[in-house]
Amino acid sequence: MIESSPHASEHRSDEEGRVENRQVLSEEGQSEALSILILDDEPLAREALMECLSPDPHRLYPVSTVQGALERLEKDVVDVAFVDMRLHEASGLDAIPLLLDEAPWLRVVLVTAHGGVDIAVRAIRAGAVDYLPKPFQPQEVQALTEKLVAARRRERRLQRQADQSENSDRPPVLSSSDPGMKKVLEMAQRVAKTDATILITGESGTGKGVLAKAIHLWSGRSSGPFSTINCPSLSRELLKSELFGHVKGAFTGAVRNQAGRIATTEGGTLFLDEVAELPTEIQPRLLRFLQDREYERVGDPRTRQADVRLITATNKDLREEIAAERFREDLFYRLNVIDLQVPPLREHPDDILPLANTFLFRFSQEYNRSVRSFSSRAKRRLRSYDWPGNIRELENSIERAVILSQGNEVEAELLPGPLGDMENAVSEGPAGEMVTLDEMEAKYIRHVLGRTDSIDEASRILGISTTTLWRRRKKYDI
């Protein structure tokens, strides 16, 4: 789970975008402060919410526009967003999917003067975890925030347990009828028997993490721990501590010694996901560990050693990151001993239906539904769609389809992809005259928005991100 900085910095400004950061500790000595975004276009409303949060030690990011919120999420890792229902530029309900597209882990609370079951349901459907009715009292805001702190604490504990458990005594089901994908899987099985450092590359959602776990389970280290660190999800300071550990007193809040993931993964495999996001100041430490298997905990001069295999993954081109001086070239060569390039799902379309059937069976059991197959039109749509989100998008789409299906078959309308009546929707303007490309695009976007229940669903059908859809709507005044 995402955390704020462990340093006890505390500063305050009266300008929009100010940051308040203080430190709070759980009973385990871990940082429990949240990074909180406040999106409201009324200065007094922002101030009121900040005053309610001020007794608690959180980092606050007040912004007045959706664009300002998106820019903040690009710069900082944020845990929670309080989003006002009525913004000058848009509805808070429409803003929620845009924020979640930029930061999927974000917990969004909708703030509204029009409370009720209907608003609550709409907020949850949009992706919010809760809503806060106006006018609110400080104790209401504090109680809600305490719930969010407790939720984050539970998530971190469960993630640690999941990362350090053996989970399964057999590798995940990884198979393919595509020659290119088969080659990747065969190579992975061969190199799994060695201790070679492996770099897994590929687009987001292609299953890089699943492949990393499979390599561990295929290896001689399968009886040891498998641990995962998602590099973008932690601040620079916390990532260093999480990876290497720290000693008591190393920084404010370090009330006891803590072994890092390198130490707790002794004899096993450490998976660094999105390694391109590794801060530059941590990269030399990781390089040294790869070369000498030696490291020091934060605040401790004692050199330690560990027997840990490293697997990394990224959806970025590390050579471009090197050229931009964001990634060390010597570290790249150490990580890239074996390079496994996982192809996007659109490049092995013969795997789409088998994967879809696997997900269908799983979610039918999980939700106790009687959905057993796909209609002929649904199968054609599964094959014709490009799946820009790859296997992750396919899995999420099948889960949604199983939940919404009303019979034994999944119908095409429940799946992303081009609508069958697209041509009729956009081909001609009034009286049959031809229209410009922009007019055609605007008309089709309106058509899709009118046929879907959410911005997220519309963006999936259009094959663009929710942020891009937001910009198109502004462009065409939709």
> Residue 66 and residue 43: Cα distance in Å, rounded?
15
Cα-only R_g, the chain: 24
Q: Which residues contact 142 (CB under 8 A, 6 or more apart)?
A: 52, 53, 55, 56
* Alpha carbon separation from 135 to 40, 115, 324 (Å, rounded): 14, 10, 49
| pTM score | 0.55
> Residue 313 and residue 164: Cα distance in Å, rounded?
19
Total count of residues recorded for the chain: 478
The pLDDT of residue 424: 45
User: Which residue ranges of the chain lie beneath pLDDT 50?
Assistant: 1-31, 163-172, 419-428, 430-432
- Nearest alpha carbon to residue 131 among 118, 139, 455: 118
Overall fold of domain 347-417:
Helicase, Ruva Protein; domain 3 (1.10.8)
- Nearest alpha carbon to residue 148 among 62, 58, 80, 84: 80
* Alpha carbon separation from 430 to 5, 78, 220, 443, 474 (Å, rounded): 58, 47, 69, 12, 23
Class of domain 35-161: alpha beta
Fold agreement between 35-161 and 165-343: yes
CATH superfamily, with its number, for domain 165-343:
P-loop containing nucleotide triphosphate hydrolases (3.40.50.300)
What residues does each domain of the chain span? Answer: 35-161, 165-343, 347-417, 419-478
Cis before 284? omega within 30? no
The pLDDT of residue 475: 84
The pLDDT of residue 15: 41
- Nearest alpha carbon to residue 56 among 73, 26, 29, 34: 34
> Residue 476 and residue 478: Cα distance in Å, rounded?
5
Q: Pairing relation of β-strands 226-230 and 338-341? A: unpaired
Element containing residue 345 per DSSP (H, E)? none
